[in-house]
Amino acid sequence: MRSPKGIPMLLMFMFVLLIPTHTLAVDFDITEVRIDAQLNADGTADITEQFIYQFDDDFEGITRSLIPKEGTSIDNFSATENGNTLRVEQEGSLYKVYRSGEDGDTVQVELTYQIIDAVEKFEDGAEFYWPFFDNSNESEYGDLTITVTPPAPAVETEALGYGEAYNTVRISEGGSAVFALGQVPDGENADVRAIFEPELFPGVTAQNGTVRNELAADRERLENEAIAFAQNQQTARGLGIPAITILGAILLALVTMGWLRASRRKRSIRQQPYEFFVPEASMSIPALLYFTHSSSLSPNAISAAIMELMRKGNIRQLSEDHFELINRSTEHEHEDVLMGLLFDRIGDGHEFTLEQVEVYTKQEYNHEPYNEAIAAWNTGVGNEVKSLHFYEKHPRLRWTTGIMSAAFMGLAIYTGIYELFPWMAASIFLAMLAFGFALSYSPITQRGHELRYEWRQLKAAMEQLPAEQWERLTVDEKQRAYAYLLGSDQKTAERRASVFIAAEPANDVSGFAMNPVLMTAVFVSASTTTSSTASASGGVAGTGGGVGGGGGGSGAF
């Protein structure tokens, strides 16, 4: 029987899907492994391991971790390739074999070492019981064979494999125990156990007691566990598969109906005829950009927000890059945050210039407070959007799918334990679909769709808007329309600025004295300067999860 490994595989599967994945230093496959354990009359074991690696990256070498059982030790580790000795460095239980190469290389490396006190002798037999790898191993073996050979031909060999090695052994004519494991996933145990005649090991001191009865008891226990596992697997197949199928069909029906309803509402709005107009001021320009364009406001949205504050009379523009604070009384929290950053933190409390923004953001110690202020501003804009209730809640439907998500996770665990892996994968997918739907299903209201449609159509129309049509707008409409265009499409806004300015009467004060190209460039530069990235990579040696605290694993670097 193979040991139940559904839960570890389930956790690994969820880790890959839900958390940013850890990038290995080197991408490779181990396609074949041959391990030969030649036992000696003095109880030592001479081990020869042959690994075939296929690399998909440039590499510096391979690794092998060897964690000896309690009471044993590893000696004389070496590595060769085609008879040529390779350099080895040892770091505790980890051996690093240096053999560099390039993407696409296939490398066959031979490792040799000796296990001291590898054999224990009892009254009825001498036993070799060893974990060549354990559940800390991070590499999959494509085809693994382990051969345990006695010092001389044996006729009373008994052998048993545990974990991945269960039911893989055959006894050769000379009494060797051959464990043909085949493909072995990473993160699995596979202990091998072989018993030979005690007289084959005269150099080993015998202990009191017997060992063959213990092996027979283990074999009977594993056989009974295999029978019980097969029965339980059949039960899981009979209960789990119908449950996954029925619940999955219900979930897909709920998701489909929700999607169709939202899609029909959206299509009905888009089919309405459109004539250019500037919608009423139902929310601030930054909130409009957040709702209709992107919830992650870009630096040019700050320029739009400054135009909005100018329109409302909070800010006055003294020159192309010089602004004065007129009134601190605002409608929204995010407007207070932005004015606090520009006038109090960057400026002198009453005025600020674009040059001061550049100087401030070039100082590294200002990066964190600047980014925190921009994040708080973005959050405040999001809070304004939330307060307008453009999203429906549907609590019953979301609770129902949330409960279904928990049910699917239970089914994933249940089917995973009994190695019904395709159904486990289906359950995980359905659980994540249900969880995502429960977490995020908040369709936009009719009014929300109308608002999005109106402003997005306005943005498209302004790309080719004739000057005479622009002239017919009020000052307030011009400022709101242009601020929205600047925040959502900087290139079009810059291109249309000269057209719109040319259409203004000489005495009209509509906010176009500002230079949108200059101001937006300053805030884009500030965002780039204050951003930072980081990356890291690493590896592990092993924990010793095999029999007697031993084990190991394979890797590359």
Residues 332, 127: Cα–Cα separation, whole Å? 78
In 3D, which of 288, 280, 275, 276 has the Cα closest to residue 483?
A: 288
62: left (phi over 0), alpha (psi -120 to 50) or beta: beta
> pLDDT tens digits, residue range 423-445?
999 999 999 999 999 988 888 88
In the numeric block, the tokens 């289906």 are attached to 426
Give every CB contact of residue 333 below 8 A, 6+ residues apart in sequence.
380, 383, 384
- 463: DSSP letter: T
H helical segments located in 388-531: 395-417, 421-440, 446-462, 467-471, 475-488, 490-502, 516-530
Q: In terms of DSSP bridges, do strands 177-184 and 59-67 run parallel, antiparallel, or are they unpaired?
A: unpaired
20: number of CA atoms within 13 Å, CB side?
Answer: 4
For the chain, the residue count is 557
Q: What pLDDT, on the 0 to 100 scale, is given for residue 492?
A: 74
pLDDT given for residue 92 in this prediction: 87
pLDDT recorded at residue 8: 45
Cα(466)–Cα(221) distance, integer angstroms: 87
- The arithmetic mean of pLDDT across residues 519-544, rounded, is 64
Lowest model confidence (mean pLDDT) among 31-45, 214-228, 234-248, 536-550: 536-550
**Mean pLDDT of the 27-42 span:** 92
Mean pLDDT of the chain: 85
Amino acid at site 499: V
Q: What is the pLDDT of residue 502?
A: 61
Taking the complete model, does pTM exceed 0.95, yes or no? no
Mean predicted confidence (pLDDT) in 535-550: 51
Diameter of the chain by CA atoms? 113
Residue 511 contacts residue 311 (beta carbons within 8 Å): yes
For position 27, what pLDDT does the model report? 85
Identify the band that residue 6 occupies on the pLDDT scale cut at 50, 70 and 90. Answer: very low
| 134: pLDDT strictly greater than 70 | yes
Checking if the pLDDT of 10 tops 60, the result is: no
Q: For residue 532, what pLDDT is reported? A: 53
The predicted pLDDT at position 499 comes to 66
pLDDT of residue 17: 46
State the CB neighbour count (10 A cutoff) for residue 141: 25
Our CA dihedral for 238, 244, 247, 253, rounded to 10 degrees, sits at: -130
Average pLDDT over every residue of 116-144: 90
- pLDDT score at 531: 76
Contact 64, 35 (CB under 8 A): no
Give the model's pLDDT for residue 298: 84
What DSSP state is assigned to residue 347?
A: S
| Residue 280 CB contacts under 8 Å (≥ 6 apart), including other chains | none
The DSSP result for 146-208, as a single string, is EEEE-SS--SS-EEEE-GGGTT-EEE-TTS-EEEEEEEE-TT---EEEEEE-GGG-TTSPBPS
Report the percentage of the chain scoring pLDDT > 70: 88
| DSSP letter (8 states) at residue 24 | P
| CA 209 from centroid of its chain's CA atoms | 52
pLDDT of residue 18: 45
- Decide if pLDDT at 20 tops 70: no
3-state DSSP assignment of residue 124: coil
Tell me what the mean pLDDT of segment 195-221 comes to. Answer: 91
Secondary structure (3-state) at 79: strand
> CA 168, CA 156: separation in Å to the nearest integer?
18
Exposed/middle/buried for 309, CB within 10 Å: 0-12, 13-18, 19+? buried
Confidence of residue 465 (pLDDT cuts 50, 70, 90): confident
Q: pLDDT value at position 410?
A: 92
Helix (H) or strand (E) holding 127: strand 126-131
179, 183, 217, 172: which is closest to 31 by C-alpha?
Answer: 183
Count CB-CB contacts under 10 A for residue 103. 11
Q: What is the pLDDT of residues 58-85, one digit of tens each?
A: 888 888 998 888 889 999 999 999 989 9
- Give the strand order in the sheet containing 351-353: 315-319, 322-325, 351-353
Which residue type, as a one-letter code, is found at position 10? L
Give the pLDDT confidence score for residue 78 in this predicted structure: 93
pLDDT digits over 141-186, tens only? 989 999 999 999 999 999 999 988 898 999 998 999 999 999 888 8
Phi, psi at 395, each rounded to 5°: -65, -40
The Cα–Cα gap between 397 and 37 comes to 61
pLDDT digits (tens, 9 = 90+) for 503-521: 665 445 454 545 667 788 8
Helix and strand numbers (H, E) in the chain are 14, 19
Measured at the CA of 338, the angle between CA 332 and CA 341, to 5 degrees, comes to 145
Q: Which of 346, 352, 332, 262 has the alpha carbon at shortest distance from 290?
A: 332
Name beta bridge partners: 141: 30, 184
Q: If we measure between CA atoms, which residue out of 446, 404, 450 comes closest to residue 274?
A: 450
The model's pLDDT over 176-206, given as tens digits with 9 standing for 90+, comes to 999 999 988 888 888 899 999 999 999 998 8
361 near 524, Cβ under 8 Å?
A: no
Residue 467: strand, helix, or coil = helix
Residue range 43-63, pLDDT digits in tens: 999 999 999 999 888 888 888
What pLDDT sits at residue 463? 83
Please give the residue that has the higher pLDDT: either 135 or 203. 203
Q: Give the C-alpha separation, 190 to 35, whole Å.
A: 13
Per-residue pLDDT tens digits for 79-116: 999 989 999 998 888 989 998 888 888 999 999 999 99
Q: Which comes out higher in pLDDT, residue 274 or 250?
A: 250
> Which range has the worst mean pLDDT, 136-150, 409-423, 450-464, 538-552?
538-552
Contact call for residues 96 and 59 (beta carbons, < 8 A): no
Distance between CA 278 and CA 287 in Å, rounded? 16
**Is residue 523 over pLDDT 80?**
yes
Task: Look at residues 451, 495, 505 and name the one whose alpha carbon lies nearest to residue 473.
Answer: 505
pLDDT tens digits along 253-278? 999 988 888 888 878 777 777 788 88
